[in-house]
């Protein structure tokens, strides 16, 4: 069985994330979407909330070969424990590549059986990031074109300044 991991902070999950996950599901028998826990990073949503949003979003897309999980530690070790042989990462720009290439080489050193596959983001998602979604939602802007519709209200309610829910 070909198992891949799509890791990320998903804070919050965007349509760009969902595009990469859906495309990975076409290539691999099983895709584990791994919510990364980084104690040094401040997140807007708890690990459990991010996991729940991903579960809702993947189910709404009908992705049946997906498992949502949490990785707390080294991704290379996690992949080994799950029997995964690939990591799938989306790339938006060259700046993404530099960081992700460094991570791929590190993971390969830690787990020689693990390959990293880079998928170029779809053109409509080139500009999209969780940080951008947070900023737009924080000021009450409309995020419906940036996040899965099934979780947009949850994201807006959490991120709107002063509870402004007009976005």
Report the candidate in 12, 8, 2 with the shortest Cα–Cα distance to residue 21.
Answer: 8
Question: Is the separation of the CB atoms in 18 and 148 below 8 Å?
Answer: yes
**Which one of the listed residues 23, 80, 82, 92 is annotated catalytic?**
92
17 catalytically annotated: yes
41 catalytically annotated: yes
Alpha helices in the chain (DSSP H): 15-27, 47-60, 75-82, 94-110, 130-138, 149-159
**Which one of the listed residues 30, 36, 51, 130 is annotated catalytic?**
130
In a domain? residue 155: no
Residues 127-148: what's their mean pLDDT?
94
pLDDT, residue 165, reads 40
In a domain? residue 134: no
Banded pLDDT at 150 (limits 50, 70, 90): very high
pTM, to two decimals: 0.92
26 catalytically annotated: no
In a domain? residue 165: no
In a domain? residue 139: no
Banded pLDDT at 40 (limits 50, 70, 90): confident
- The yes-or-no verdict on residue 91 having pLDDT over 50 is yes
In a domain? residue 136: no
92 catalytically annotated: yes
In a domain? residue 113: yes
In a domain? residue 30: yes
In a domain? residue 148: no
Domain count for the chain: 1
**Which one of the listed residues 17, 30, 51, 89 is annotated catalytic?**
17
- As a whole number of angstroms, the distance between CA 2 and CA 10 comes to 23
**Residue ranges making up the domain that contains 99:** 3-125
CATH label of the domain that carries residue 32: 3.40.50.620
């Amino acid at each position: 069985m070909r198992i891949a991991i799509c890791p990320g902070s998903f804070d919050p999950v965007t349509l760009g994330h969902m595009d990469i996950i859906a495309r990975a599901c076409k290539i691999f028998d099983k895709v584990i979407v791994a919510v990364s826990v980084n104690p040094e990073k401040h997140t807007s949503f708890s690990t459990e909330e991010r996991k729940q949003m991903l579960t809702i979003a993947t189910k709404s897309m009908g992705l049946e070969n997906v498992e949502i999980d949490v990785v707390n530690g080294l991704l290379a070790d996690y992949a080994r424990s799950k029997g995964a042989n690939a990591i799938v990462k989306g790339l938006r720009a060259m700046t993404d590549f530099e960081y992700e290439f460094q991570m791929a080489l590190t993971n390969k050193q830690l787990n020689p059986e693990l390959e990293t596959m880079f998928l170029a983001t779809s053109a409509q998602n080139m500009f999209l990031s969780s940080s951008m979604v947070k900023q737009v939602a924080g000021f009450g802007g409309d995020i419906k074109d940036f996040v899965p519709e099934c979780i947009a209200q949850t994201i807006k309610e959490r991120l709107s300044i002063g509870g402004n829910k007009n976005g």
